[in-house]
Structure formats: C-alpha cells, structure tokens
Amino acid sequence: MKRKVCVVVTARPSYARIRSALYALSQRDDVELQIVLTASALLERYGRIEKVVEADGFDVAWKIQSIVEGESLLSSAKSTAIGLSETATAFYNLEPDVVVSIADRFETIATAIAAAYMNIPLAHIQGGEVTGSIDDRVRHAVTKLADLHLVASKGAAKRVISMDEHPDSVFVTGCPSVDIAHEAMGSPQLPDDFFDRFGGVGPNFDVKKDYIVVMQHPVTTEYEDAYMQAEETIKAIAVLDIPALWFWPNVDAGSDATSKAIRVFRERNMLPKVHFFRNVPPEDFIRILINSKGIVGNSSVAIRECAYLGVPAVNIGSRQTARERGANVIDVAHKAEDIVAAVNTHLKHGKYANDTLYGDGTAGEQIAEVLATTPLLLKHERL
C-alpha cells in the first residue's frame, strides 16, 4: 500500500523550500502525494502560487482559505485559529499517513497542532534554526510537536537533539530551496522577454546590466516600526541609484505599513529605477539572484540560497539575527547610510565562493527517501 504523504504549503517561500521534494515524492511508486494549499498561497496579492504549483504539474488535494485581513498581530492569531480548524478538516478527509510542515511561519503551527492532536505523524522541515525573532518560538514549538525532523544543517540537527528530540528522528538533508539554486546554476540566463513574461509594475531596464534585488519583510515583534524600517531601505536604494527588482513583502503583521511606504515613495517618483514584483517562479527568482550584483533586505533567501550561489547579501535588522550564515552576508541596522555603505562594499568585492552550509542540491531526494521509508513512529513511541 502506498504511503500517503500530505504536504501543507502556506506561502511562496514554503513552496520554494519543498518543491524539489515534491518532485521526488511524486516520482515514487510507494508514495501517494497529497498537497494542501492554504493561507497566502491562495491570495492574489501575494503571488497566488496555486497557479505555479499546478503549472509545475502537481495536483492540489485540498485548498483552505484561512487569512484574516489586517496584517496585524490580531489577524495573525485569528488566521492561525482558522487554519487549525480547517486543516483538521482536511486531514480528517484525506487520512494521510504523515503530514509535512515547513519552516516557521504562523500558518505552520496550525498544521503542526492539527496533526499532533489527530495522532498523525508530523515531519518538520527546517527545524532547529535560530533567527532571534518570533519565528523562533513557532519553529521550536513545531519541533516539539513533530515526530520526524528534516533539518538543513548540522548545527540545526544539534539544536533539535539538544531540545530532547530522539537522535534517530533527526535527519540532516539540507534545504530543498538550495536544490533549485543548484539546478538554476546550470542554465542561469534570464529570458530576453523578462519584463513581458513576469509582469510587475515600474520601469523596465536591461537586466543583462547591473541591478540589485530587494526583499524586505516586516518583523513581527517590531511591526509598529515597519514603515520606518521600509523607509530607510527605500532611502538607501534611492541614494544608490542602481536599477533594482523589488519583491513584495509576506503576509505578516506590519506588511500593510511596509507596502504603504513603498507606494508612497513610488508615487512621489523617488524610486525611478525600481521594478516591483509580487512573485515569479522559484527557478526564475534564483536566476534573478544569480545575475544580480546582490540582494538587500531581511529575507532568509539571502542567508540560504545566496550562500550557495555566492551572491552578496546585505541583511538588514533583526529578522535573521542568529541564523547561521556564510561569508556573503553583511549585517546592518535599519539606517540608510549603513545600507548604502554595505552595498558599496559588496559591489567592490563581487561574487563570493560557493558555500554548502545549507545543502549541496540533493535535499529533495533525501527528504523523499526519509518520508517514504522511515518508520512512522509518534514521539512517545520512541521513548
């Protein structure tokens, strides 16, 4: 009998971090893959990666609308509650043998709680990491609810085991998003019809020449400062006067303020060389990074994929404070002058050496093998 593996995808980063494993699972004769889409994965303004998932050839088993409007702490809490209730319904109907929860967002803990209370073995991707934000509490809570741990680095594995998780339940697989980076390096060219293909708003420019990437999300524990923090980044990009591709923020508390800052400065024509996107397919986003002069903001992609790619990264603020990082990262505060100085340092340095801190490009196959063949023991059964 095939093992039913249910993967819950909550947002565009979640899909990028699991896609190679989905491919590997879908090709196995001993697995029935069930994909559940929920939260911002279904929202148009956050890229609606439902379209991307289906275009990649995957069937979606269940869809859950769970996001409460507001992008505040209250709406995050209420969205989690709706997600928990509706995810439990999905699991009841799909009857999976194992559920996969990805990373550390607020939607993720709803998946974990539902599976744990329904006695469904839970596998957690990317546990054991530390960032210094509210995500740590979510991530570690999911770790304590999970029965299998598929971690991205040796340091993460040590941390999970130090949390009193059984060593036999911990597997160092690397990060699946690095698999996409590995594949994209084989064909890094951007299409000639770049802007026509990917849309977005703002001026077009020659992507074969110098440009940078910007991706900044609000920090949940600092959401009241989101406008100011975005403003400092915007000022820096304006001073640098380099063409930029800017990607819209996640659906977190404070994202309305981040988006407002972008719109205000854009309407004042203070970002005349910036083109804005909601989302592009994962492999094309990696190609954008490969061909860029660097990335600015606070996304984990700057720490993970960019370490493997050797792409210079300016990490702003506290969102990634304690995450393991490579030599490609310069950390700065939310100050325009510091951001400008760091970008200029990177521009002088250029690309960095490849770093396999978060994997070597084979994570998807490793994760699929663990999910398909490892005995599915609940946590108490390992004691």
The string of pLDDT tens digits covering residues 106-131 is: 788 999 999 999 999 999 999 988 87
Query: Band of the pLDDT at 71, cuts 50, 70, 90?
Result: low
Specify the range with the lowest mean pLDDT, choosing from 153-167, 312-326, 353-367.
Answer: 312-326
Instruction: Give the three-state DSSP class for 170.
Output: strand
pLDDT of 201 > 70? The answer is: yes
- Cα–Cα distance list, 176 to 118, 188, 273 (Å): 27, 18, 33
pLDDT at 84: 93
Does residue 70 register a pLDDT over 80?
Answer: no
Answer whether residue 383 shows pLDDT above 70: no
Is residue 123 within 8 A of residue 146, CB to CB? The reply is: yes
Average pLDDT over residues 71-95: 90
pLDDT at 43 over 70: yes
pLDDT score recorded for residue 242: 93
Instruction: Tell me what percent of the residues of the chain surpass a pLDDT of 70.
Output: 97
Shortest CA distance to 98 belongs to which of 2, 25, 4, 169? 4
Lowest mean pLDDT among 217-226, 337-346, 364-373: 217-226
pLDDT on residue 252: 65
pTM (global) more than 0.85: no
Task: State mean pLDDT over 351-357.
Answer: 93
**In b/e form, how buried is each residue of 211-232, taking b as 16+ CB within 10 angstroms?**
bbbbbbbbbbbbbebbbebbbb
Q: What is the pLDDT of residue 50?
A: 82
Lowest-confidence pick of 18-27, 45-54, 93-102, 309-318:
45-54
Which residue did the predictor score with more confidence, 226 or 332?
332
Burial, 119: exposed, middle or buried (Cβ in 10 Å; 0-12, 13-18, 19+)? exposed
Q: Is the pLDDT of residue 339 over 90?
A: yes
Q: What is the pLDDT of residue 47?
A: 64
Q: Over 90: is that where the pLDDT of 279 sits?
A: no
What pLDDT, on a 0 to 100 scale, did the predictor assign at position 251?
A: 66
Order the strands of the 313-316 sheet from edge to edge: 274-277, 244-247, 212-215, 295-297, 313-316, 329-332
Angle at 306 between CA 302 and CA 312, to 5 degrees: 80
For residue 3, what is the enclosing H or E element? strand 3-9
Q: What is the pLDDT of residue 88?
A: 96
Q: What's the mean pLDDT in 198-215?
A: 91
Structure confidence at residue 46 (pLDDT): 66
For 160, 296, 341, 342, the CA distances from 303, given in Å and listed in that order, are 20, 11, 19, 15
d(CA 246, CA 141): 32
Tokens of 21: 């494993």
- SS3 state at 244: strand
Pick the closest to residue 22 from 36, 11, 40, 43 (CA basis).
36
- Mind listing the domains of the chain with CATH numbers? 3-175+360-382 (3.40.50.2000), 183-349 (3.40.50.2000)
User: Given the structure tokens 């993967």, which residue do they identify?
Assistant: 7
Range of weakest confidence among 55-59, 91-95, 253-257, 292-296 = 253-257
Q: Which residues contact 90 (CB under 8 A, 6 or more apart)?
A: 36, 61, 62, 64
Average pLDDT, the chain: 89
